[in-house]
Amino acid sequence: MAAEKFAVAVPTDAPPPFAQISWNGRTWDLARRLGHGKFAVVHEAKCRDLPHKRVAAKIINKQAISAWGEAQLTTEIDVWKSLDHPHICKLYGSVTEGSYVILFLELATGGELFERILERSTFLEKDASRLIGQLLSAVAYLHERGVIHRDLKPENLLLDSMDDNASLRIADFGAAKLLSGLVSADSPALASTPCGSLGYAAPEQIRQQLYERQCDLWSAGVIAYVLLSGAHRTASARARTHARTHARFAAAVAAHGRRAKSSRAAPSRRAP
């Protein structure tokens, strides 16, 4: 997996928490930073014995996340490892180093779809159609296996190259849930945890109602709109009239994290 360039809007010279990691019987040297989030940083990792072998190492600080976040991290790893689809970034494995969990991922050299949107502003219909088709193919695969993503957005979608015809990869399952029970139109499995990203979350998520796998389709529709128009739907006058509802949704997501964190010493009280 050669790496030419990873288009990100963050500094790439920041040092990782440690210089090397032992995984899969080999030593991996951490190189340039590819991106970062609130609780994680992603570095390119090069195999010392086989320099042509390169992966992305997502380093997560467990001390910075809530009890619910820790439980969700376990779910993320279990779900992600079971997935095998051309438009889902592969999770090869994971290790724990002290208070850090490191996920070893397929290296996508084209950067985030979000960055590509900033560069191009709008996409031709044929390009947007191709990317959304790839996304929906991956979403259908997830839903067939009872997995609901719950946080589809351009920041969680990577491109496999810098080419104009690059393929898309879903690359984050931090909010994913494995639905229990029969998943069908007649007997849908429901979720209730407040999660997702404002602007891409479905109305029922924002209203803090029970929701099901179709929330992922709403998010995909918003992404299609952004690709074609270059504008975000939350900038519309109609969306601004729902500012209070949006604020309540954001507060609910934050409150859920605080409740889970306060219950870290009492596992039986953790939020589902």
CB within 8 Å of 191: residues ≥ 6 apart: 148, 150, 177, 179, 210, 211, 212
Q: Is 84 a catalytic residue?
A: no
Locate tokens 């306060």: which residue? 262
Q: CA 179 to CA 99: how far, in whole Å?
A: 29
* Burial of residue 75 (number of CB atoms within 10 Å: 0-12, 13-18, 19+): middle
- Marked catalytic residue, from 84, 151, 164, 186: 151
157 and 113 Cβ atoms separated by less than 8 Å? yes
Backbone angles phi, psi at 167, to 5 degrees: -90, 155
Half-sphere exposure of 74 (CA within 13 A, CB side): 5
Residues marked active site are found at: 151
